[in-house]
Amino acid sequence: MLNRLTISELTAKLAKREVSAREVMQSCLDQIGRVDGKIHAFISHDDKDALAQADAADRLLSQGGGNASLPLLGIPIGIKDVLAVKNQPLNCASKILGKFISPYDATVIEKLKAAGAIVFGRLNMDEFAMGSSTENSAFGVTKNPWDISRIPGGSSGGSAAAVAADETIVSLGSDTGGSIRQPAALCGCVGLKPTYGRVSRYGLVAFASSLDQIGPFTKNVSDAATMLGVLSGVDPRDSTSVPQPVPNYSAALDGKIKGLKIGLPKEYMIGGLDAEVKAVVDAAVKKFQELGAEIVEISLPHTDYAVATYYIIATAEASANLARFDGIRYGLRVDGNDPVELYSKTRGAGFGDEVKRRIILGTYVLSSGYYDAYYLRAQKVRTLIRNDFLKAFEKVDAIVTPTSPTAAFKIGEKSDDPLQMYLSDIFTISCNLAGICGISIPCGFTKSPKLPIGLQLLGKPFGEEMLLKIAHAYEQNTGWHKEKPTLT
């Protein structure tokens, strides 16, 4: 089945004309038809447009296309419903955007199209990327392909589930506090969060502008390296985009990690960590030692403050960013007798409970008399957290941690307890606060039921080469990434 293959496997077959891009795309669409009724990874997909893109790719392939300048020629890629794709719906899994159609492409979409990719479908997510379970969507809950009674993680749950269920070869997500890495861990695929500024955010609907980053979900580390090479680069339309050279990430995947130092933060092996997750992560750490890496205990002393710091900064920025959804310019409009009533009725009807909760929290911490006590102090603590990482990276080449404290939990299990839900991201949010890069790779399973467990690797700012090198070496010496869910 072509939909089960990786980018590298498909590009080889496409280049030799053993298969056509239309056959690859049709294989993904057939799989969506078979399984998406059970997992609901997609909000929508336009089969006619997807197949037309595939036919265009086949014409290029017949003319000798598919070279280094088109590394994704004929590869289907699903898109999280927070990224602008021209002439496609853009809802952020919210009612408030109504029937809004994007008038332009995000920079990452332009880059994918320029690389020959087939950009199709809108993938489900937590509304405005606010959540850890993909239960906060106006379009319904996405389910984990390994066990449809459980959540796929969030906020990019649809993106992770679609790759894990082989409905698409690759997908794009966004990561504000772990929204790529955590669902990748819970669904058993690879999720990469680049360094802040490595990938343009132009065309990403903002949740928290100083934390958001776009990245890929893939079936293996090699594909993540290929995707990062396509997505990276400076963009004058994004003022936070950094003019760093883009290396050949794939060339770094040589399997050699002997002599490298990998840090193990003592603050991350905490009491709330599930025993099975800890055992699997411990085994992965031993595997790195067997491969010749040196494990070094490190300290990230301000870790305890990360969750509180994150939820002050993220909600404050969300409050400011979501002020634009007012019923005046686009999307849902619920009329009132005056502008204030129009705003309140529109936002009351258009936003879900979790989005409202975060807007209220954010507005509170930014309000007069509280700004210094909360937001300003949180920014200072954020600097301390970043400095912890920079100090650690003076001693080690990468840091290893669990991605999530537990495997996927049951749908509805934490819906009534927002604090417990927020703690699902305890291992991932520091990476966003520090602006560094992180990746989650499969490292094992729980016993009963069989659920994926993810291993998180964190790297220096713009240290994706090293991160991918270490992740790839581990992957090549284990078989976890080859395991597939069985959807009945």
Which positions are catalytic? 80, 155, 179
| Alpha helix stretches (DSSP H) within 63-218 | 107-114, 157-164, 181-187
For 295, the token pair is: 């494990």
- Residue keyed to tokens 């650690």: 392
Measure the CA–CA gap between 74 and 5, rounded to whole angstroms.
13
Measure the CA–CA gap between 311 and 430, rounded to whole angstroms.
11
For 232, the token pair is: 């990276």
Q: What angle do CA 378, 382, 384 make, to 5 degrees?
A: 120
Residues sharing a CB contact under 8 Å with residue 16, sequence separation 6 or more, in sequence order: none
- Residue keyed to tokens 């002599």: 259
Handedness of CA 438, 442, 448, 449 (dihedral sign): positive
Closest CA to 127 of 141, 112, 109: 141
Q: Provide the CA 386 distance to its chain's centre, in angstroms.
A: 21
For 23, the token pair is: 């056959």
CA separation, residue 168 to residues 12, 72, 142, 225 (Å): 18, 13, 15, 17
Measure the CA–CA gap between 40 and 10, rounded to whole angstroms.
25
Helix axes 221-231, 107-114, angle to 10 degrees: 110
